[in-house]
Amino acid sequence: MKRWHIRDIILVTIIAIFMGVIFWALGPVYTILAAALAPMGLQPLANELLLGIWVMAGPLAGFVIRIPGAATLGELLGAVVEMFLGGIWGASTLISGTLQGFGSELGFIFTGYKRYGWFTLFLSSLTTAIVTFVWDLFRNGYAAYHLPFLLLLFCVRLLSIFIFGGVLTKLINNLLVRAHVLKD
């Protein structure tokens, strides 16, 4: 099995920082969305909609650096970078980051780090959605919501993760494969 080398560690960190830059650029969108949805008590939906971009570092790192642990490390480093750049959520970002990354990682674990196609991406999106949702049941008190709303939140989350962590990641991967920098 491939081991971590310094080049891979640098690359996974750059990807994490890059996703941080993208997410940071989306800050205003998120704020507007959250503020617009808040009065109806729908603020969590803003999180769910954009969560896909936030967790994208995981599957992207997993696809670009095909080493066990890449997805987890990509997402965890994203959280560390955010913390160092003055992100306010502190230690809880580290925990969420690790869980999100591990969620994506599960998809790659289940396919044995051998298949890098649609199936793996769908599986990875599903595991990410489930793991992170369980965490939010506790952390953000989601467990108290009525079931229909809870289902809505989950579906939006799965969709967002699938679009960004799945479809977009696959399209990026295709370009990299065609440019001969990644294997199919």
Scan for tokens 């997805």, then name that residue.
Answer: 71
Q: How far is the CB of 158 from another protein (least distance, A)?
A: 17
- Summarize as ranges the residues that interact with another protein (CB under 8 A): 4-11, 13-15, 17-18, 21-22, 25-26, 34, 38, 40-44, 53, 60, 64, 77, 80-81, 83-95, 135, 138-141, 144-146, 149, 163-164, 168, 171-172, 174-176, 178-181
Q: How far is the CB of 2 from another protein (least distance, A)?
A: 14
**Residue closer to another protein, measured from CB, 85 or 115:** 85
Q: For residue 78, give the nearest of 104, 109, 101 by alpha carbon.
A: 101
The token duo for 108 is 């790659």
For 165, phi and psi rounded to 5 degrees? -75, -20
Check: CB of residue 37 under 8 Å from CB of residue 43.
yes
Q: How far is the CB of 79 from another protein (least distance, A)?
A: 11
- Tell me the C-alpha distance between 154 and 146, whole Å: 12
